[in-house]
Structure 1
Amino acid sequence: MTLKRKFFLILFYGFANHLPDSYQMLWGGVSNWLRVFCVKRIFKKCGNVTTVNRNVYFGNGCEIEIDDYSGIGANCVLPNDIRIGKYVMMGPELYCLSFSHKISDVEKPMCFQGKEDKEAGACIVIEDDVWIGAKVIITKRRHIGKGSVLAAGAVVSKDVPDYAIVGGNPAKIIKYRE
């Protein structure tokens, strides 16, 4: 990790991440500008991002790719290797899981079994023009198709096809966008 990336991680997590909400009238625009300025220097690829709201967590962010006109909602937790397309809207409190614990050895407590080994290229991918509602959970290795909508509170444990509207726990297809 470069010294520049470390500096902007410290600036982001130590200061900018605690500034007012991006949509607050008085200081929101300046707060958002500073957060976007930082992530452009942290993420692997960062297009013309519109919003990075407050209290976002993304690890060290060195493998994150986010494309143009996408935004990250308040209190979102993103894995370090997520790929986000263009025009993606994320509501507050999106939680993306990047790993699971091993549970195969019943003689050993699960907390001592460690994490599953990460497969190459096994990251969450969110395609273009996706709307993710508030408090959505996306499990590891999911592919969210182009133009899809994830309803508030959905628990996405399977891939979502293009233009599908999904909701529930576990998330099921409600209908398709026309």
Structure 2
Amino acid sequence: MIRIFFLCLYYGLFRFFPNSNFPLLGKFSKEFRYICAKNIFEYCGKNVNVERGAWFGHGRSIHIGDNSGIGINAIVPNNIHIGSNVMMGPDVHILIRDHLFTRTDIPMIAQGFTENKLCIIGDDVWIGMNVIMLPGRTIKRGTIIAAGAVLTKDFPEYSVVGGNPGKLIKTR
């Protein structure tokens, strides 16, 4: 019941409060959203920043580590594991399922969806603005994802990834 209360509070009010870096009110906005996250997510570490406009569904299966954030207007799935010290830019979209399209005798809209796939973001990751992460992807420790990248596959730890589709630019 408490989870539902904080979920309503977040989506009805605190989701629209100013960004965390907004003068004066930002600090309070960040704190209010953090209190909501602590009561909504399955696990919420210390100093977590859920930014203005972030969408995470019912949030029941979200794990987020210490000093991590969900970016402004980001859309993250209910079943995601976000490590510690993760920076997420604005407008990041993380997907957990796709449309089925294998049959040609039935319109794609009537074929339904694939099963939900778990997305994992490791520790010490930086995800740039407007990144799209396709279902089932894992971003490993120390990785940087450049702004606008589309992740269609996984990369080794300490990678710098960019482009559409995402390609290894270099290692750190």
Q: TM-score range by the shorter chain?
A: over 0.9
**Secondary structure of 1:166 counterpart:** strand
RMSD: 0.8
Report the counterpart of residue 133 of structure 1 in structure 2. 128
Shift of 1:108: 1.0
Q: Comparing 99-108 with 59-68, which one deviates more in the overlay?
A: 99-108
Query: Among residues 52, 58, 76, which one is paired with 2:74 in the alignment?
Result: 76
Query: Among residues 9, 14, 17, which one is paired with 1:16 in the alignment?
Result: 14
Q: Please state if 1:152 is matched with 2:150.
A: no
Structure-to-structure mapping, 1:100-139, within 5 angstroms: 100-118=98-116, 122-139=117-134
Q: Which runs of 5+ in 2 are unaligned?
A: none
Percentage of identical aligned residues: 45
**Secondary structure of 2:40 counterpart:** coil
Deviation sequence 1:130-164 (CA, Å, 0-9, x none):
00010000000001010000000000110121000
**Secondary structure of 2:7 counterpart:** helix
In 2, Cα distance between the equivalents of 1:87 and 1:123? 20
What's the TM-score once normalised by structure 2's chain length?
0.98
Deviation sequence 1:43-64 (CA, Å, 0-9, x none):
0000013311100000100000
What's the TM-score once normalised by structure 1's chain length?
0.94
In 1, Cα distance between the equivalents of 2:92 and 2:99? 21
In 2, Cα distance between the equivalents of 1:42 and 1:112? 33
Q: Which runs of 5+ in 1 are unaligned?
A: none
**Contact conserved, 1:75 with 1:93, CA < 8 A, in 2?**
yes
**Contact conserved, 2:99 with 2:112, CA < 8 A, in 1?**
yes
In 1, Cα distance between the equivalents of 2:34 and 2:107? 42
**Contact conserved, 1:49 with 1:66, CA < 8 A, in 2?**
no
Report the counterpart of residue 27 of structure 1 in structure 2. 25
Q: Which runs of 4+ in 1 moved over 6 A?
A: none
